Structure 1
Amino acid sequence: MCGIVGLFLKKPELEPQLGTLLAKMLETMTDRGPDSAGFAVYGSDAAGVKLTLRGPDRASLADAAARLEGALGEGVERVERDTHTVLSVPAAREDEVRTWLKANAPGIDVVSAGRRMEIYKEVGLPASVAERFDLSGMSGSHGIGHTRMATESAVTTNGAHPFSTGTDECLVHNGSLSNHNDLRRRLEREGLSFATKNDTEVAAGYLSWRMREGASLKEALESSLTDLDGFFTFVVGTETGFAVVRDPIACKPAVMAETDDYVAFGSEYRALVGLPGIDKARVFEPEPAKVYAWERH
C-alpha cells in the first residue's frame, strides 16, 4: 500500500503555488506510506542539464560536489538541499560528470537528469521529507509525489519513488509487477541499466526504452498494459506533460480532479480536498486500461 499524488498546472501564473499544494497533498497520504517519500518538480529550465545528486549525508555530498566543481571548472552551478544537490552543467558534459563521480565519488548517486526536472527522496515521514527539501518553496508547472509502505523490500532511500531512467522522465507506482525480473533482463540486453531491484524502476525503464524507440508517452503507456504483468497505477512526468494509467483490473484506489486551472491525482480523494476550487472541479475515477495525458507547451 502506497500513496500517489500529482498536480499539473494549466496556467503559468499558478506556478509559485505548486510546491505548497503538492506538499500538503503528500502529507495527507502519510498513512498510506509512512516509511519514505519522494517527489519530482518540473521547474525552471536549465541552460544545459540539471543533475540531482544524492549522498549518504550532507558533508560527504558537499565535499564531492566541491571537488567535482573544481575538476570541471567554469560553467557549473549547484544548489544544495539537505542530502541532495542540483548540479547544472552544459549538456555536453553530462557524461563527463557521471564518469568523474563513478571514479572519484562512488557513494554519490545521480537521482535524475533533466532540463526542468528535479527529484528528491528520503526515508522518513512525508511531511519531514517535504520539509527537509523545502518542497513548499518550490515552483513549477507540474509535480508528482509518492509515499511508500515497503511490503516487498527494505526501507531505503534507493527504494523510494520517483524513479527516473530518462531525461526529464519519472514515474511513481502503486501496486506490484510480477514479470519485472524477466523484463529487467530484456531491457538490460537493450542497453539499459538499473540501480535497484525495485519493480518500479523497471517500469520506468520500460517507458524510457519505448520512447527512445519512437513511441509517444501515450503509446508507451498503452503498450505497458500488455507488456507489464501485475496490478499497477502509474503517474508519469515528462518535461512538458503528466499522465496516468491503471491496469485493466484497477484494484488500486485512484481519483482525479480537473478544473480550468489544474489536473490533480490522488490515491484517495482526501489528498485533493485542500486544492483551490475543488468544490467546482470535475472529480472522477480514472477508468481501467485508459491513458489520461495532459501537456503544456
Structure 2
Amino acid sequence: MCGIVGLHLRNPELHPRLGELLTDMLCEMQDRGADSAGVAVYGDPTWTPPGQGAVSLLELDLPAAEVEAAIGTALGVPVAVRAVDATLVVTVPVPSEELLAAARAAYPDALVAGFGADLAVLKGVGAPRDLAASWGLAGAQGWQGVGHTRMATESAVDPSGCHPYAVGPDQCLVHNGSFSNHATIRRELRAAGVEFDSENDTEVGARFVAKALADGKDVEVALKELCATFDGFYTLLVSNRDSFAVVRDAIACKPAVIAETDDWVAMASEYRALAGLPGVENARIWEPEPEVVYAWTR
C-alpha cells in the first residue's frame, strides 16, 4: 500500500516549522505502511549547513569521529559528521559530488541514502512514529520535506529498500504502487552504465528520472517519459532543492490529493495527512489527474 507525503513551504516564516508539520503528515500515513519509513529534508541548518555539500550514509556502524577523520584526510578540509539515529549526515565545504566520491572511496560498502546541497535523507526499519521520534524530525527546519511509509511488496525490508530514493544530486523520489516492467528497464539502465543499490522497483524509477535529469531534461519531461516507459500502477512525488512534482499513472488507482495555498503546496496519499496544515481550510484541494505532471519551483 504505502503512504506518501510532501510539503513545499513558500512562506519563509514557516521554515522553522517544517519538521513539526512533516512529522504530523508522516505519522498520519503510518497505517498505510508500518514496516519502514524515510524522509528527505531540504534546508535544515544543523543537518546540512548552508553552502556545504552533504552526503547521507547508512549501514556504516562507525563512530562519527572516525568517519570525519577518514573523509577529511581524503579531501584535505574539515568534515562534520552528525549521527541522526542510524544515518550519518556528512557535510563539508566542497561540492556534494566531490564529497560523494570521497565517501564512496573510503567506505565502498556503505549505502548512500542521498547527497546534495541542503539535503539530508534519513531512512529506517520500524514504525514511522518511532523513527520520526528517533530522528528528532519535529525539530527540523527548512523549506521542503518529503516522506514515505512503506508496506514492502517488491523487495526486502531493510534500509536499501526504504524510500526516498535519492540517487541524483539534490533529488529524491517516493512511490506508492508497483512497476510491472521494472526488470526490463533495470537491464536497459545497467547496460547504459547505471548502478543499483537494491532490488526495489522504485529504485528503477528513481534511476530513470535521475538519468533523464542528468541528460539535461527538466522534471516535467522526465516524468512524461517515465509515464510512457513504465507499466504498472503508481503515484510518484519527485523533488530537488528547487522543485516539487507529482504524477500518477494512466489509470490513477493509487490515491493522491494535492492542496495549495499562498504559503505552501502539499501532497499526500490521503487528505488526513494534510488536515493539520496551517490554513488548510482555505486551500485549493484537488485529486491529480492521470498522467498530468504537477510541478512547482521555488
TM-score (normalizing by structure 1): 0.93
Q: Residue deviations 1:85-124, cap 9 Å, x none? A: 111132234312211112xxx3x32211100111001011
Residue 98, structure 1, aligned to residue 104, structure 2: yes
- Residue of structure 1 in register with 2:223 after alignment: 221
2:84 maps to 1:88: no
Secondary structure at 2:160's aligned position in 1? Answer: coil
Structure 1 counterpart of 2:55, from 37, 45, 51: 51
C-alpha contact (below 8 Å) 2:4/2:149 kept by paired residues: yes
Deviations 1:120-172 (A, max 9, x none): 01011111111111111111111110000112322212111000110001000
Structure 2 unaligned blocks of 5 or more: none
Preserved contact between residue 64 and residue 81 of structure 2 (Cα < 8 Å): no
Partner SS state of residue 254, structure 2: coil
Report if aligned partners of 1:256, 1:283 keep a CA contact under 8 Å in 2. yes
The aligned amino acid for 2:138 is S
- Summarize the alignment of residues 268-283 of structure 1 with structure 2, pairs less than 5 Å apart: 268-283=270-285
Closer, same or farther in 2 for the Cα pair 1:14/1:267, shift >3 Å?
same
User: Residues 111 and 61 from structure 1, CA distance in 2 versus in 1: closer, same or farther, beyond 3 angstroms?
Assistant: farther
CA RMSD of aligned residues (A): 1.5
Aligned mates of 1:52, 1:181 — CA distance in 2 = 27
Q: Deviations over 1:20-65 (max 9, x none)?
A: 00000000011100110101011156434101111355xx353652
Distance 2:171 2:131 in 1: 21
CA distance 1:61–1:176, change in 2 (3 Å): farther
CA contact (8 A) 1:41 1:119 kept: yes
Indicate conservation of the 8 Å contact 2:19/2:137, yes or no: yes
Q: Residue type of the partner of 2:58? A: R
Cα shift at 1:7: 0.5
The equivalent residue for 1:205 is 207
CA deviation after TM superposition for structure 1 residue 69, in Å: 4.2
Unaligned runs of 5+ in 1: none
Q: Deviations over 1:221-279 (max 9, x none)?
A: 11111011111100111110101000010000111111111111111111111111111
* Matched position secondary structure for 1:158: helix
User: Does structure 2 retain, via aligned residues, the 8 Å contact 1:61–1:84?
Assistant: no
Q: Secondary structure at the match of 2:16?
A: helix
CA distance in structure 1 between the partners assigned to 2:166 and 2:140 by the alignment: 19
Which secondary structure does the structure 1 equivalent of 2:14 belong to? helix
Cα pair 1:46 1:88 within 8 Å, conserved: no
Aligned residue type for 1:100: A
Shift in alpha-carbon separation, 1:2–1:49, aligned structure 2, 3 A: same
SS in 1 for 2:166: strand
Q: Are the aligned partners of 1:36 and 1:148 in contact in 2 as well (CA < 8 Å)? A: yes
| Aligned twin of 2:190 | 188
CA distance in 1, matches of 2:280, 2:32: 22
Is the Cα–Cα contact under 8 Å of residues 37 and 125 in structure 2 kept in the other structure?
yes
Counterpart residue identity of residue 55, structure 1 = E
Give the aligned length. Answer: 290
Q: Which residue matches 1:167?
A: 169
Structure-1 separation of matches of 2:71 and 2:245: 36
Q: Identity, % of aligned pairs?
A: 47
Give distance in 2, aligned partners of 1:83 and 1:166: 21
- 1:61 and 1:163 map into 2 onto residues whose CA distance is 25
Structure 2 CA distance for aligned equivalents of residues 202 and 69 of structure 1: 29
Cα offsets for 1:186-205 (capped at 9, x unmatched): 11122211000101011000
TM-score (normalised: structure 2):
0.93
